[in-house]
A and B are shown apart, each in its own frame.
Chain A
């Protein structure tokens, strides 16, 4: 189980006085060079877990090592090995991008002779060279996130924590950030622990995904494994004539068992590699006119639904994560 250069957590708990158990016994292993997606709704315990793993919040119970160092007993060593871009880009709106990097390189103890060069390199890497001397209050959300990432990379960390890095970003900014995170993991060998509430982000970016709900990991594996565990794809047919639904259902029944459909009729296929062409041929042979035919692959939302009984979309609206300033129990 021990992994000297990744992250290992065992029975990690964070409990608040007069509050809920924000994190309720988490066990996880993140391998070096891996992008680990921590997926869950708002209030699931993602940020609290990140705060514990980055030494900003002591755990109530359990243990964890990050880069081989204990998060409670070896805080300074952990912090030296990690970079973090926490929820909401923590930037000073009155400073420029370059001034942020100057401050960060000094505080991280980068030798004076290397500071300017390192700052320029990172600004260029995140595409902010042109905007480096503008005050951050004039930056867009995407620019702030990129600067946040650059600041987290100042000391070339082994492990990078990204807490909901793309929340609120437009599609273009999101894709650019994904590309940079992927590059960090593949080219530089950085281990990335990424929390997100976006299914697509976890699906596209993460090598492995841990799904968290109410402070507990309810499922873990590669996106493909998780989806395969949940089940087979479904096919939905919407007949042109709505009176033909029963006939369409009878044809589809040859390929699988009926399931809930949004508009028409649907079946869950018997095998995961069923041939859609066969279904089309069967419908055609029966002269059934079809308005729409769709193959639905299982998504991570289906995984979340299967494990928690709720859809990930909107699941977090019930409760927010408690304030980190609350006193420990």
Chain B
């Protein structure tokens, strides 16, 4: 990897972070909204912990994994709409006329998304610790959650970039937001899959990759070191990241039609 390439990625990532930092709504809502949902759910659904087989007696600890996913969804939207705006304003053409390598643009954009994901992950972890959540896997588990969050941010950020590059429209990217939220709601975010009584819901949650991402993080908070949950979680996150980055790279190549 040449020094020039690293510099290009660094500048583009810096731009991505600066852009986000200068739009307070892009920071505040992705932090406040998941925290609010966490507060509402953990107080309203605490009684669910009395169900036989529920893995913990703290619904807050159980639900703490969900903000990581919600943060990833916001990352998708932000990465996608920023890139779509670059296409619409012609900024992408300006970049295309430089000797910049296309992959540097994607890496820079995703680097910025991951930086924001890191901030979000730190906020969720600190919020959990302040609210008295005991992380069953200890400090090592917290570090793994952090890495896991970055991987999820990478995958979903690349998904947003792919949508933007494919459609060239910020509206189209934002239009996908409710669809992603449906995926979140039909997952195991509110209840362990084995305790979901409605059959179709349980099947949908089992087929839904988001369930495995949540369960991977959740296992480190409420169970400890659960190899199966971690393998499924990391495997799913890696698969999503690999597919999304490949799609985004291919779409970027098509979008940058320069000869």
Contact = CB atoms under 8 A, between A and B. Distances in A.
Interface string B84-107: 001001110111111110000000
Contacts of B100: 107
Contacts of B12: 103
A135 interface: yes
Nearest to A80: B99
A95 interface: yes
A106 B101 CA distance: 12
A79 B258 contact: yes
B257 A107 contact: no
A102 interface: yes
B94 A73 contact: no
A109 interface: yes
Given A71-B259, A80-B99, A88-B90, A106 B23 contact: no
A15 B27 CA distance: 44
Interface residues of A, number: 34
B112 interface: no
B15 interface: yes
A49 interface: no
Given A84-B97, A94-B23, A95-B19, A58 B259 contact: yes
Interface stretch (B3-11, B62-70, B122-130, B137-145): B3-11
A55 interface: yes
Nearest to A137: B22
B168 interface: yes
A105 to B, nearest CB: 9
Given A103-B15, A109-B4, A79 B257 contact: no
B258 A91 contact: no
A99 B90 CA distance: 17
Interface residues of B, number: 26
A88 B89 contact: yes
Interface string B9-31: 00110010011001100000000
Contact of B96 (A56, A72, A92): A56
B18 A75 contact: no
A33 to B, nearest CB: 22
Contacts of A82: 97
Given A94-B23, A109-B4, A151-B94, A76 B99 contact: yes
Nearest to B11: A106
B94 to A, nearest CB: 5
B19 A92 contact: yes
Given A56-B258, A73-B259, A103 B97 contact: no
Interface string A318-329: 000000010000
B93 A106 contact: no
Nearest to A73: B259
Interface in A61-104: 71-73, 75-76, 79-80, 82, 84, 86-88, 90-92, 94-95, 99, 102-104
The 4 closest A-B pairs by CB, nearest first: A90-B90, A75-B259, A107-B98, A106-B11
Interface of A: 54-58, 71-73, 75-76, 79-80, 82, 84, 86-88, 90-92, 94-95, 99, 102-104, 106-109, 112, 135, 151, 325
10 contacts: A58-B259, A73-B259, A79-B99, A90-B91, A92-B15, A94-B19, A95-B15, A102-B11, A104-B98, A106-B8
